[in-house]
C-alpha cells in the first residue's frame, strides 16, 4: 500500500509532548539532544514541563513541534520493524518543513534553525500589527470568499470541504463573524492565536525569511512533497525555497494537497506529531484513506496495524 506521512502545524503543541517518545527510544531522545545543541536550551524539558505560555511562543513552538514530529516518525518506523516506505509527504504550515526534511530536502539541524527564525519573524510581525483568525464551519468556498471580501479578511487555511479559516486585522474579526453568520455558516469561531497567520500581514516575516533562507541548503526531494501553496508536489530546490517563503503569506491549500495525494494512489496516511487534527481533516476530505495519528509509543504500535 502506498503510504503518506503528514505533519501538524502550530497550535498542536501541548505540555508533555515528546516525553514518552524520548523516554522509550534512544533515537528519539537523541533528536532532542541535537535540537537542544542548536537552540541553546533544553528542548525536551520545555516540551515535557512547559509552561504552556513558553511552549506556545512561536519561536519555541515551531522547532518543538518539528522535533516531536520527527520523534513520532521514528517511533512509527520502529513499530513497523524498520519497514516504513514513504510514497509521499506533506505538512500543514510549519509541518511542511518536517515533510521537506523527511524527503531529504533540508537537514535536521537546518530545519531547527529555520523554524526558530521563522517563528521569531512571525511573532515580530504579529506584535507590529494586531491580527486574528476565524474558523468557519459549514460554509462553501464561494461563500467563504464573499465573507472574506465583505469583511476585509483573507482566506488563510482551506482545511477541509467544511472548514475554512480567515485571517486579518484584529479589528475586522467581528465583521467576519457577522458576515459568516449572515451567509449561513454553522459556526464561526475565533482562534486563540498570536496574529493573522497566512495573510498579507505576515509580509515582513516572509521578507525576513527569504533573506535567512539564502544561506540554507535545499536539495531535490527523494519522494514527492506536496506544497501548501499550490496543493501539488514540489519541484526543484530553488522553487521549494521560493514557495516556502510564499507560504508564510499564502493560503494553506490542505484540502487540495490531501485530495491530490489520495488521487496519486496514497491508501494509508500517518499523522506524525502532537495532536490528531490532520487525521480528522483527512477523514472529511477523502474518507477512503485509512489514517492514524502517532504522538506516543502506544499510538505508534496501534498505527502500525494499518500496514497489516
Active site residues: 93, 198
* Sheet strand arrangement including 2-7: 88-91, 2-7, 266-272, 290-294
Q: Considering Cα of 31, then 32, then 33, then 36, what sign does the dihedral take?
A: positive
CB atoms within 10 A of CB 202: 25
The bridge status of strand 290-294 relative to strand 131-137 is unpaired
DSSP code of 252? B
Q: Please state the length of the chain.
A: 308
226 three-state secondary structure = strand
48 three-state secondary structure = helix
Q: Can you list the positions of beta strands (E) in 23-147?
A: 88-91, 131-137
Nearest to 271 by CA among 299, 232, 233, 231: 299
Nearest to 118 by CA among 104, 134, 97: 97
Amino acid at each position: 500500500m502506498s503510504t503518506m506521512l503528514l505533519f501538524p502545524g502550530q497550535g498542536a503543541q501541548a505540555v508533555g509532548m515528546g516525553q514518552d517518545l524520548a523516554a522509550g527510544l534512544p533515537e528519539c531522545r537523541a533528536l532532542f539532544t541535537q535540537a537542544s545543541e542548536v537552540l541553546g536550551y533544553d528542548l525536551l524539558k520545555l516540551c515535557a514541563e512547559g509552561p504552556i505560555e513558553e511552549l506556545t511562543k512561536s519561536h519555541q513552538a515551531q522547532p518543538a513541534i518539528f522535533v516531536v514530529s520527527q520523534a513520532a516518525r521514528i517511533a512509527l518506523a520502529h513499530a513497523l520493524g524498520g519497514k516504513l516506505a514513504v510514497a509521499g509527504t506533506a505538512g500543514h504550515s510549519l509541518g511542511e518543513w518536517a515533510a521537506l526534511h523527511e524527503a531529504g530536502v533540508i537537514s535536521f539541524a537546518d530545519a531547527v534553525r529555520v523554524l526558530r527564525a521563522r517563528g521569531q519573524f512571525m511573532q515580530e510581525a504579529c506584535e507590529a500589527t494586531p491580527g486574528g483568525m476565524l474558523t468557519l464551519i459549514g460554509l462553501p468556498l464561494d461563500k467563504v470568499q464573499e465573507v472574506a471580501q465583505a469583511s476585509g479578511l483573507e482566506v488563510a487555511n482551506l482545511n477541509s470541504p467544511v472548514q475554512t479559516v480567515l485571517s486579518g486585522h484584529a479589528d475586522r474579526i467581528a465583521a467576519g463573524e457577522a458576515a459568516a453568520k449572515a451567509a449561513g455558516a454553522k459556526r464561526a469561531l475565533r482562534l486563540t492565536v498570536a496574529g493573522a497567520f497566512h495573510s498579507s500581514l505576515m509580509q515582513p516575516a516572509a521578507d525576513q525569511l527569504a533573506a535567512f533562507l539564502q544561506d540554507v541548503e535545499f536539495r531535490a526531494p527523494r519522494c514527492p512533497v506536496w506544497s501548501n501553496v499550490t496543493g501539488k508536489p514540489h519541484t526543484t530546490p530553488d522553487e521549494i525555497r521560493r514557495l516556502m517563503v510564499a507560504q508564510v503569506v499564502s493560503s494553506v491549500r490542505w484540502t487540495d494537497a490531501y485530495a491530490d495525494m489520495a488521487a496519486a494512489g496514497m491508501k494509508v496516511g500517518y499523522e506524525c506529531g502532537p495532536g490528531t487534527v490532520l487525521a480528522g481533516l483527512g477523514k472529511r476530505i477523502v474518507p477512503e484513506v485509512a489514517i492514524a495519528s502517532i504522538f506516543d509509543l502506544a499510538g505508534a504500535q496501534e498505527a502500525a496495524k494499518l500496514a497489516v
